[in-house]
């Protein structure tokens, strides 16, 4: 058996010619969500994969074998439920609602702009249909979201920061911005839901729009 203990997410850093020459292995999600498994590659070789615990293997990733050979992972088609919105009885926002309810049930979901994918479940399928969504059974690759803190490949980053930038004015750098600071206790007390202070009353069911 040939051991593989290294993975290159999406073949990062490899020349296209090397990717074309690489061997392949088809794996469904049940296998790819594990960090240790056995498989057979396109050359009929038995490979044993030993990756850091928590690593998710995605279609397009490249495994590096102990002999230096490269094995590109292909996400194998598998039974899934494809969920789309009904243009006659709903809107694309229904997919957001569906993702929310499925997430509350800790269901693995593949998120796309125009559809969702989940593994087959007749109870969930009926729930989604009752929300006016279209649910169809298909065979397709399944790439559900990884954990928000794991990034799917053991936490590799994407090259830039989302930290807030310091506020500036015409005079240059400002170490702090009063408008971004919390209200002082006295200021917080000044905000009230008294209609006399608000200028309008909140009727039952009326949204607070300002």
92 and 53 share a domain? no
Asked whether residue 174 is domain-assigned, the answer is: no
Q: What is the CATH number of the domain that holds 97?
A: 3.30.70.790
Both 32 and 50 in a single domain?
A: yes
Phi, psi for residue 8 in degrees, rounded to 5: -110, 105
> pLDDT: is 194 or 155 the higher one?
194
Residue 172 lies in a domain: no
Residue 125, pLDDT score: 97
Domain match, 70 and 82 both: no
- Indicate whether 182 pLDDT > 60: no
Domains contained in the chain, number: 2
pLDDT category of residue 153 using cuts at 50, 70 and 90: low
pTM above 0.85, yes or no: no
Q: Write out the residue range of the structural domain in which residue 68 sits.
A: 2-75
Q: Are 30 and 67 in a shared domain? A: yes
123 lies in some domain: yes
CATH of the domain at 40: 2.60.260.20
Q: Please say which residue of 123, 140, 157 terminates a domain.
A: 140
Residue 97 located in a structural domain: yes
Domain boundary residue, one of 75, 93, 110:
75
Q: Are residues 107 and 126 in the same domain?
A: yes
145 to 6, 58, 152, 202: CA distances (angstroms): 22, 11, 8, 40
What is the C-alpha to C-alpha distance for residues 195 and 166, in angstroms, rounded to an integer? 37
Tokens of 27: 């794996």
β-strand 110-111 against 46-50: which pairing, if any?
A: unpaired
Residue written as token pair 């230096």: 68
66 pLDDT exceeds 70?
Answer: yes
94 in a domain, yes or no?
yes
With DSSP H G I counted as helix, E B as strand and the rest as coil, what are the percentages for the chain, rounded to 5?
20, 25, 50
Domain final residue pick, 140, 163, 184: 140
């Amino acid at each position: 058996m040939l051991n593989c203990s290294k993975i290159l997410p999406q073949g990062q850093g490899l020349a296209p010619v090397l990717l074309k020459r690489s061997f392949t292995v088809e794996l469904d999600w049940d296998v790819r969500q594990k960090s240790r498994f056995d498989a057979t590659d396109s050359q009929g070789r038995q490979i044993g994969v030993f990756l850091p615990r928590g690593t998710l293997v995605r279609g397009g990733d490249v495994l590096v074998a102990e002999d230096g050979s490269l094995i590109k992972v292909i996400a194998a088609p598998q039974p899934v439920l494809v969920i789309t919105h009904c243009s006659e009885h709903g809107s694309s926002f229904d997919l957001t609602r569906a993702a929310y309810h499925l997430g509350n049930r800790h269901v693995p979901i593949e998120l796309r702009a125009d559809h969702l994918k989940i593994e087959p479940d007749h109870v969930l399928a009926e729930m989604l249909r009752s929300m006016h969504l279209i649910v169809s059974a298909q065979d397709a690759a399944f790439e559900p979201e990884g954990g928000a803190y794991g990034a799917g490949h053991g936490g590799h980053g994407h090259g830039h920061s989302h930290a807030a930038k310091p506020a500036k004015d015409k005079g240059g750098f400002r170490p702090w911005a009063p408008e971004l600071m919390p209200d002082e206790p006295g200021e917080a007390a000044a905000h009230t839901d008294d209609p006399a202070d608000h200028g309008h009353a909140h009727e039952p069911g009326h949204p607070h729009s300002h």
